[in-house]
Structure 1
């Protein structure tokens, strides 16, 4: 990691930059644009007392928020145990290759341990070869499944 880069929890004043990064991430993953008002919907859930949603931010030495990892606690029914689900990990293009991704993953693992959780799960698109190589280098194991979304 670059000298003086750091990982820290998101604060309410980070919300505008976090939303910018989310929109970049959505475009990068070739997903449909999100409806207006994302900050208004996300802020109260992220910063509410007792929220079980955590966002860790990667900050460059100059203080620029360059990436994030968003996590929540989930429950593995087959194992009858909770785990940390990392819903998103994203670094702005210019921040990649400087160790921030590894630092974010270390912070995510630390968050899981702090919460008394024994593992982290996440997904990445099957076309994202760079992310797959990165996760493989960390020693993570992939699981073949297809994710569905069902509007109700």
Structure 2
């Protein structure tokens, strides 16, 4: 392989994806993921005939996995239609600015088309200027909202 690529994650990629998810959480000043994240991801990605979650990875020419994106179909009440929700897109610090984000976004778009979905939605922190510039360059539009979380326990 002589160029970077975006591909679906394989089971053997999950420890690296979990490692990058911990970097991603630290970058966003969030709580770290659980220690068994790779095992949990394996169940969601490979544990059923129709997996709920999809994970794509950005692979460098030397085979190093340097980024990931996860997504899952969701519903919009207002549109009465499904869309693809991109939950995460993360590149390691040294992998940013080399076109890997665009590769992952193209793979996400392909995933949406494959599922018969006409749109993709996601969020990014309001302070993440680099991500905002990247998404704006793609032609994406944003809506101002706050994301809330509420534990059920």
Report the TM-score range of the alignment, normalised by the length of the smaller protein. over 0.9
1:112 aligns with 2:121: no
Shift of 1:34: 2.3
Name the residue aligned to 1:27.
26
What SS is found at the alignment partner of 1:98? Answer: coil
Would the aligned equivalents of 2:59 and 2:66 in 1 still touch at CA under 8 Å? yes
Name the residue aligned to 2:7.
8
TM-score scaled to structure 1, two decimals? Answer: 0.96
What SS is found at the alignment partner of 1:136? Answer: helix
TM-score scaled to structure 2, two decimals? Answer: 0.95
What SS is found at the alignment partner of 2:22? Answer: helix
Name the residue aligned to 2:60.
60
How many pairs are equivalent?
Answer: 150
Shift of 1:114: 0.8
Distance in 1 (CA, whole Å) between partners of 2:88 and 2:32 is 16
Mark the runs of 5 or more structure 1 residues left unpaired by the alignment. Answer: none
Q: Which segments of structure 1 move beyond 4 Å, counting only runs of 4 or more?
A: none
Mark the runs of 5 or more structure 2 residues left unpaired by the alignment. Answer: none
Distance in 2 (CA, whole Å) between partners of 1:44 and 1:35 is 14
